[in-house]
């Protein structure tokens, strides 16, 4: 019975969403039409860049889980990265559903609850840090009129969070001392028994003892995360090239990419439909591109990075996880 639920529930949701947001879907047909006049090699390169970007993020997951004592082959982390991405981009508030699916699969691989949470926080912080770096680079080289201080503040916060999570994994004994000293005081302030939750918190922290993430491996994780962002931005660069027939200004593409990601982060519509395209078009036009070319580039980019990658992810989900369950691949 549960197998049918795993099949039918997402399918029903997709059908409902397609009906609700059908007015926003014509970009797919428009994108296919534009592909006829676009450079085929540039479009093919954009597809390769988009898929390789997903593989880079899958390698980040593999490295972090391996550091926590849960070795998993790249093909399995690639499968869940594609499947969870399809959930993330297809539903309003999709990142929450994506995180739950990823958590369930990782638990099926044998990862502890703390390791799953540690992976989510660290990978997200490092990825956001690189997104801001790309945005700052675009602002700096393009000289755009953007509040760079908010970007720098976000960069500082994400860098600090990444360092804190890495430090915590390498100093569980220090965390235990702090917990035993501070949690009883907090409990007293809240009117609780001083020792309430202390031993449970300490037990969870001891799970970090299985994590071995030295500076070398952390640098490797950061490098793959950066590659994920660079390849994603390269996808937009190649889509602009495919439409215009010439290489666009790198700074303009970097700024358009960052703006699009920030605009789509709220995701009030599936995949940020409407808001992401508007952000890309507005930024490229502000950088000097014609509205016609900017619109065409945005549509082709979304066809590749959103429609195609999401479709591949749903195929993976239905063939792999819906059929075999979230614990697929544990054997």
pLDDT at position 147 is 60
pLDDT at position 122 is 86
The HSE-up count of residue 26 (CA atoms within 13 Å, CB side) is 1
Distance CA(93)–CA(87), nearest Å, equals: 9
Instruction: Give the Cβ contact number of residue 256 at 10 Å.
Output: 31
pLDDT at position 80 is 95
Handedness of CA 160, 252, 272, 275 (dihedral sign): positive
85 and 313 Cβ atoms separated by less than 8 Å? yes
**Phi-psi sector, 214: left (phi>0), alpha (psi -120 to 50), beta:** beta
pLDDT at position 90 is 80
Tokens at 31, concatenated:
């994108």
pLDDT at position 19 is 47
Which position has the token pair 């770096």?
A: 133
In degrees to the nearest 10, what's the CA dihedral of 280, 281, 285, 287?
10
Which position has the token pair 């980040």?
A: 60
57 and 227 Cβ atoms separated by less than 8 Å? no
**Phi-psi sector, 94: left (phi>0), alpha (psi -120 to 50), beta:** alpha
Mean pLDDT by 10 residues, the chain (331 residues): 48 48 50 68 94 96 92 95 89 81 91 87 87 80 60 71 72 73 74 73 64 82 94 95 88 88 71 77 86 86 88 87 58 43
Q: Is 297 exposed, middle or buried (0-12, 13-18, 19+ CB in 10 A)?
A: buried
């Amino acid at each position: 019975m549960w197998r049918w639920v795993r099949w039918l529930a997402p399918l029903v949701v997709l059908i409902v969403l397609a009906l609700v947001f059908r007015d926003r879907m014509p970009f797919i047909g428009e994108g296919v039409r534009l592909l006829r006049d676009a450079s085929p090699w540039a479009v093919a390169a954009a597809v390769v860049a988009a898929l390789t970007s997903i593989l880079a993020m899958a390698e980040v997951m593999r490295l972090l889980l391996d550091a926590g004592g849960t070795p998993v082959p790249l093909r399995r982390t690639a499968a869940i990265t594609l499947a969870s991405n399809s959930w993330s981009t297809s539903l309003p508030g999709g990142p929450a559903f994506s995180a739950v699916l990823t958590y369930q699969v990782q638990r099926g691989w044998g990862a502890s609850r703390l390791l799953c949470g540690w992976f989510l926080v660290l990978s997200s912080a490092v990825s956001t840090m690189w997104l801001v770096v790309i945005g700052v680079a675009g602002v700096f080289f393009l000289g755009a009129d953007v509040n760079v201080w908010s970007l720098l503040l976000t960069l500082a916060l994400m860098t600090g969070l990444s360092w804190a999570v890495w430090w915590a994994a390498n100093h569980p004994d220090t965390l235990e001392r702090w917990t035993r000293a501070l949690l009883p005081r907090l409990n007293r302030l809240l009117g609780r028994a001083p020792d309430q939750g202390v031993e449970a918190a300490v037990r969870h922290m001891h799970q970090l003892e299985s994590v071995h993430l030295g500076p070398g491996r952390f640098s490797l994780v950061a490098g793959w995360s950066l590659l994920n962002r660079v390849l994603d931005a390269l996808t937009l660069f190649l889509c602009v090239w495919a439409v215009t027939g010439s290489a666009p200004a790198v700074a303009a593409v970097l700024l358009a990419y960052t703006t699009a990601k920030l605009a789509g982060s709220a995701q009030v519509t599936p995949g940020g439909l409407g808001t992401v395209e508007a952000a890309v078009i507005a930024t490229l036009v502000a950088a000097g591109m014609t509205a016609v070319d900017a619109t065409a580039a945005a549509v082709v980019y979304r066809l590749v990075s959103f429609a195609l990658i999401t479709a591949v992810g749903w195929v993976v989900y239905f063939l792999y996880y819906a059929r075999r369950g979230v614990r697929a691949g544990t054997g």
